[in-house]
Structure 1
Amino acid sequence: MRTTFLRPGGRRPLEIPMTPMIDVVFLLLVFFLWTASFQLPEQNLPVVISMAAGSGAVTETPPEQPDFDLIAVRLLRQDERLITTLNGQHLTDLGDLQGRLEGLANVRADLPVVIDPAADVPVGDVVDVYDTVRIVGFNQVQFAAERP
């Protein structure tokens, strides 16, 4: 596609090639699409809204969400019982673990979960914890290992 302009004096028309300009615009479009992050902005920001005096309304800030880099699940065996800790907090059973993990998954499901079983923990218990973590919705599940 070419655009034709007449030169002054009636000489041959001046043609401007449009294809290179369209190519440049297309490359810019591709560049901006590749560099866009497409991440949603954070939705839960603590905000205090001041009310008019005498309205009687009480404003509360939402509870702060814990900020973790990773979720650590430690498994220990004591007196033939499995002891599970989640980021240092002792849990009673797998149901308690699942409930806490669901709460964390609702906030950030992209966090890595590190399962750190002691040497005397049966493999079946480790697999049960792994399955629980995956069912809740975490995709980055890792196992801790001791350095040789």
Structure 2
Amino acid sequence: MQFKRQANDPVQVNMTPLIDVVFLLLIFFMVTTSFPDQQLNLQLPTAGTSEPQEQQKDRIFSLALYADGRIQLDDQEIENAEGLKARLQQLLENHPEPALLIRAEQQTPHQQLVMALDTARQLGIQQLRIATRPVEQGK
């Protein structure tokens, strides 16, 4: 007895779910990835006595002072000196003895650096560092 052969439908792979999954993975990695070092594009001043510092166990907060007057504390934009003081007070509530690394551009007004140091001193922050670049040899 001969059976009638059924016509096989061509196999098709539906690409829509695959594309959806790839886009969801792409969005997930874009949202969860952070680039903290690439956001701070500062031209630090040079110092002949600068030394690399060892990492501490405590959290070091980074304060960036830009030449155009912008202020960032751990990649969060701050409007003015009062905003800086309020944000540092919030940090002190969670971290009783924080370390503050000040990264000021070469052309930052001196007043802005003094304001940041004065604010930190008023709040009782004892561990202050100012970031510099080492002097290049031969210059």
**Band the TM-score falls in, shorter-chain normalisation:** 0.5 to 0.7
* Partner SS state of residue 70, structure 2: strand
Alignment partner for residue 91 of structure 1, among 71, 75, 78? Answer: 78
1:73 aligns with 2:60: no
Larger helix share, 1 or 2: 2
Task: Give the 5 Å matches for 1:100-139.
Answer: 100-139=87-126
The residue type paired with residue 138 of structure 1 is I
1:146 aligns with 2:133: yes
- Give, in whole Å, the separation in 1 of the partners of 2:76 and 2:133: 22
Q: How far apart are 1:111 and its partner, in Å?
A: 1.6
TM-score, scaled relative to structure 2: 0.53
Residue correspondences, number: 78
| Contact persistence 1:109–1:137 (CA under 8 A) | no
* Partner SS state of residue 77, structure 1: coil
Task: Give the 5 Å matches for 1:26-105.
Answer: 69-78=59-68, 82-105=69-92
| Contact persistence 1:105–1:137 (CA under 8 A) | no
* Partner SS state of residue 87, structure 2: helix
| Contact persistence 1:83–1:90 (CA under 8 A) | yes
User: Tell me, which stretches of 5 or more residues in structure 1 are unaligned?
Assistant: 1-67
Q: How far apart are 1:140 and its partner, in Å?
A: 0.5
In our comparison, the structure showing a higher alpha carbon Rg is 1
Q: What is the aligned partner in structure 1 of residue 19 from structure 2?
A: none
| Contact persistence 1:72–1:87 (CA under 8 A) | yes
* Partner SS state of residue 137, structure 1: coil
- Give, in whole Å, the separation in 1 of the partners of 2:133 and 2:83: 27
Q: How far apart are 1:109 and its partner, in Å?
A: 2.7
- Give, in whole Å, the separation in 2 of the partners of 1:132 and 1:118: 19
* Partner SS state of residue 127, structure 1: helix
TM-score, scaled relative to structure 1: 0.50
User: Tell me, which stretches of 5 or more residues in structure 2 are unaligned?
Assistant: 1-57
* Partner SS state of residue 134, structure 2: coil
Higher relative contact order (CA 8 A, sep 6+): 2
- Give, in whole Å, the separation in 1 of the partners of 2:118 and 2:81: 10
Q: How far apart are 1:147 and its partner, in Å?
A: 2.3
- Give, in whole Å, the separation in 2 of the partners of 1:134 and 1:108: 16
